[in-house]
Amino acid sequence: MHTELCDQLGIEVPIFAFTHCRDVVVEVSKAGGLGVLGAVGFTAEELETELQWIDERIGDKPYGVDTVIPGKYEGMGEHDPEKLEEQIRAAIPQSHRDFADRLLDEAGVPKLPEEEDTDRLLGWTIATAMPQIECALSHDRVKLIANALGTPPPDVIQSIHATDRLVAALCGSSYQALKHKEAGVDIIIAQGHEGGGHTGEVGSVVLWPEVIQSVAPTPVLAAGGIGTGSQVAAAMALGAAGVWAGSIWLTVREAAGAMAQKESLLKAGSRDTVRSRSVTGKPARMLRNEWTEAWEREDTPEPLPMPLQGMVTLDMIRRTHQYADKAQGVAFNPVGQIVGSMNQILPAKDLVGELVDGYYDAVDRLNALAPND
C-alpha cells in the first residue's frame, strides 16, 4: 500500500483524511495517514489557533490544510476581504435572509445571542483563502495545501511551491483534471458523484480511471464513496496513488460534531442524501431534510450564487451547530452516499487500521483467484 506519495509526504499509508476537526487531523496523521484540516470556516486568526493546537500534539508527523478558491464566484475580481464582504452583503436580497430565518424559527431553532456576529464572509473566495494559505505556510508540519473547488491561481501555486510544499486540487471531470495538471498541481483528487460536499455528475468508478489516464503520470487520489478497505483496494487497482476520504471521519470518536448530528448520520441510509445548492450556492451533497426540500420548492427563493448563499446560510450553520439536538430537521450535514455504511463510532486510529486491514484482505482475495502455476 506504500506509494511514491508516501515518500514525498513522509507518511506510512496513502490515506488522506479531510476533516474540519483538529483532533481527527492529529489522530489520522499519528496513525500513518495524512490528516487535512478544512479551513473554510475559520478566519486566519482562528486557523492560526487551530494549527498551533495541532503542532503541539502531532509530534513529527505531517498534515495538510484545505482551502476553497472557486474557479468562478460572485465578486471574484475583488481581493480586499472587507470590500468584498461589503459588496456581497449589499447584493443579498432581504427576502432570502427572511426565508432562511423563517425556516429556522418554524423548526424551533433558538436564535444566537445578539453579540455573536453571524454575518461575515467566510471562505469561498481568494480574498479569504489567501490569509489562510499564508497562515498554513508558516507552520513547518503542513506539507500539503489542497484546494476544494477549481484550479488554484498560478501565483498561489507558485507561492506554495516556493516553500517546498505540494499542491492538491479536487475535480469532478477529466477536463478539470487537465486544467489542474497544466497549472502545475502536484496531486489531483478525483471525487465522484457519490462523495460528500461539492461533487460533479460522474460516478467514482467511471471518473477515477478517466482522470488517472488523462493526467498520467501526475498522481491521483480517489475520492467519493471511500469507506472500507476493499474500496481502497478498488481505487488502487484502478491506478490511484491513494485515497481521499471525508465523510467517514464525521462519526469517529474524536469528531467535534454534536452527538445529535452523529446520530443523524448513523441512522441515515445511502439514499438519504441529496445534492443541493441550498447551503453554498453550488451543488453539494448533504443529508436531505426540511431545509434542502424547502429551497427546492417552486414558491421559494432560488439559491444565490457562491458566496452569496453562504452568507445567507451562515446563521443557519451556527444556530444548528449550537443547538444541534433541536435542529436536525434543518441542519447542514454534508456527507456522501457512504453514510449508509457509517454505523458505529470508532477512534480515528482504529478506522485507519480497518482501512489498511481491509485493503490487505481484499488483495489476498484477489490473489487467491489467480491461477496457480
Angstrom CA distances, 254 to 11, 284, 287, 329, stand at 21, 24, 21, 24
DSSP state of 334: B
The dihedral formed by the CA atoms of 136, 137, 143 and 144, expressed in degrees to the nearest 10: 60
Output the pLDDT for position 76: 84
Q: Is there a contact between 221 and 189 (Cβ–Cβ < 8 Å)?
A: yes
Whether residue 120 has pLDDT greater than 90: no
pLDDT digits (tens, 9 = 90+) for 164-201: 999 999 999 999 999 999 999 999 999 999 999 999 99
**In 240-288, where do the E strands start and end?**
242-245, 273-276, 284-287
Domain ranges for the chain, please list them: 4-365
pLDDT band at 123 (very low <50, low <70, confident <90, very high): confident
Q: Is the pLDDT of residue 118 over 80?
A: no
β pairing state of 142-147 and 166-171: parallel
> Considering the entire predicted model, what is its pTM?
0.96
Q: Give CA–CA dist 293/273, Å, rounded.
A: 11
Q: What is the pLDDT of residue 224?
A: 98
Q: How far apart are CA 16 and CA 14, in angstroms?
A: 6
Report the distance separating Cα 4 and Cα 2, nearest Å: 7
Please, which pLDDT band fits residue 66 given cuts at 50, 70 and 90?
very high
190 pairs with which residues across the strands? 171, 222
Q: Which residues contact 127 (CB under 8 A, 6 or more apart)?
A: 78, 79, 80, 81, 84, 121
**Whole-angstrom Cα distance, residue 338 to residue 271?**
10
The per-residue pLDDT for 295 is 97
Which helix (H) or strand (E) segment is 221 a member of?
strand 220-223
Q: Which three cell numbers stand for residue 111?
A: 436564535
| CATH number at 4-365 | 3.20.20.70
Q: How far is CA 186 from CA 4, 72, 138, 165, 215, in A?
A: 12, 22, 20, 9, 11
Cell of 316: 443557519
239-278 pLDDT, tens digit per residue, is 999 999 999 999 999 999 899 999 999 999 999 999 999 9
**Residue 116: predicted pLDDT:** 64
pLDDT of residue 231 exceeding 90, the answer is: yes
Residue 115 — pLDDT band, cuts 50, 70, 90?
A: low
How far apart (Å, rounded) are the C-alpha atoms in residues 114 and 27?
A: 36
